Structures are given as C-alpha cells and as structure tokens.
Amino acid sequence: MKAALRNRAPTMNWFSWAVSTHPSGRSSREPPDGNWEPEMSRRDWEHWNSKAEGFEKKQYRIAGSGCDRETDQWLLSRLDSEDIFMDLGCGTGRISRLVSPVVSNVVSVDGSPAMVERCISLSESFANITVAREDCMELPFPDGVFSAVLMSNLLHIVSDPAGAVAEAVRVLKPGGRLLAVDYSMKGMNLLQKQKMIARYLALWGPPPSSTTPMDNEQIAVLFKDKGLRIKDSVILGGKTKAACVEGEKPLQA
C-alpha cells in the first residue's frame, strides 16, 4: 500500500526539502515497494493497524486522565516556539495536536496506514502539522534536522528499541532533545497493575508479541548508549504511571 501523506503550509517546503536531501532519495509518497510495512511482525503490525478507530478514547480509559495530564505538562515544559518537532509513532496524533500551538512545525510519523489516515483527519485544522507513513527504523530525513523528537509509547512495542533510538538520534540536531513517554508499571501496587491489565485486555485483547514494558531507568540506559546526555528521568502519574526521559544530543561528537 502506498504511504499516506498530508502536507499543509507552512511545513510543506521544509518537509519536501528534508525528504529530498535524504541519501535514499525516497519520499513518504514512495515506499520501497508496494508491500512496505514497518519493521515488526505482520501480527503485531495488524494489531496496531486495527486499533485506529477509537484509539484515543480507549487509551484514555486504560491510562486515565491523571497520567496523561502530568505527562502532557512534562512534555510541553520542554518545548519552545522555534522547535521543529517529530512525533515518532504518533498513532492518531493526540500529542501532535497538543504541541502544535507551541512549536514551529510538527511532523507526525506512524507505520500504520489506518493510524495515519485517522491522524490526517483529526489534524485537518492544524496548519503546521505534516503527517507521514514511515518506518521508525528507517526515516526519510537527513541527519540533524529536528530540534525535538518524541517517542510516546513506542519503545515498548518495537522489536529493536535500541535501533529506534539510534535512528531518532540520527535525525536530531546537535543540542536537540529526544523525549520518551512510556506507560510503565514501576511504582504501581499489585491491585493497580491487575486493574490496568484487565482494562487493556478488555479493550484491546492480548498485546503484540514484541511488547516489552520499560521503566525510566531502562530508557535512560538506551539513551546513554546512543550518546545522549540525560536531562531528566522520572516516573509520573497516580494510579497509572508513565516513564518520562529527556536526553540531549551533544553539540559536538
């Protein structure tokens, strides 16, 4: 299936330039072949592709408002009006829409055609959001073009989290920030864990085979291994928790 892409001014010229200067010469309109899929098993890919309808409401019911409210505040406090921001693994684009008013440009990337289609629909009124279907392991951007990259609930579902982090670091500018927000069971008691698992199973069924929950310390290790300086590493939330980690790319290698 061809990649879905929606460009809207003023991001179009910047996005087109970024894609055209990548060594692969591939744009989001031109996947490597007609059967392109993200780097994951077909079962896992189909699992997430089938979840686009009602994705945000179901995620809210699983995690609750308190956790998202805290992580949203944490994220927004780390962005500024000049940021070129990538929402890597954007799903249906809730966070892309959240940050749109406070940054310069947003590029929303996901590997699921259904998620991308829904993200395009929901972001229609946001002029600075560009939505693209891409593989997080092989992005069509040159080195060092984004000042901030977010991986929200992505690292625990990919088969190679270290590879995904390495690719995100590649497209970061020197001094840019890699931000991770991942639901975590760290700090939850047994009853809270059981209730969250029950909600997940009731709404989405068994998780994909590649799912590997991570806490902030594990994510921080991934970031450090790829040369990032850890600026923050915390667990936020009430009855439901999330790991939040910020890493900064050195100004010089």
* Per-domain residue ranges of the chain: 5-248
H/E stretch holding 114 reads: helix 113-122
Question: Which pTM does this prediction carry?
Answer: 0.82
CB-facing half-sphere around the CA of 154: CA atoms within 13 A: 29
The mean predicted confidence, pLDDT, of the chain is: 82
Confidence band, pLDDT 50/70/90 cuts, at residue 40: low
Q: Examine the pLDDT at 66 and tell me if it is beyond 90.
A: no
Phi, psi of 81 (to 5 degrees): -70, -15
Alpha-carbon distances of 40 from 159, 164, 165, rounded to whole Å: 6, 12, 15
pLDDT digits (tens, 9 = 90+) for 110-137: 988 899 999 999 999 999 999 999 989 9
- One-letter amino acid at 42 equals R
> Distance of alpha carbon 122 from its chain centroid, rounded?
17
The reply to whether CATH 3.40.1010.10 applies to domain 5-248 is no
Gap between the Cα atoms of 57 and 67, Å rounded:
14
From start to end of the chain, where are the E strands? 5-6, 84-88, 105-110, 129-133, 146-152, 172-184, 229-237, 241-248
Confidence band, pLDDT 50/70/90 cuts, at residue 195: confident
Q: Three-state SS for 122?
A: helix
Phi, psi of 166 (to 5 degrees): -60, -40
pLDDT digits (tens, 9 = 90+) for 204-249: 777 766 667 889 999 999 999 999 999 999 999 888 889 999 999 9
pLDDT at 237: 86
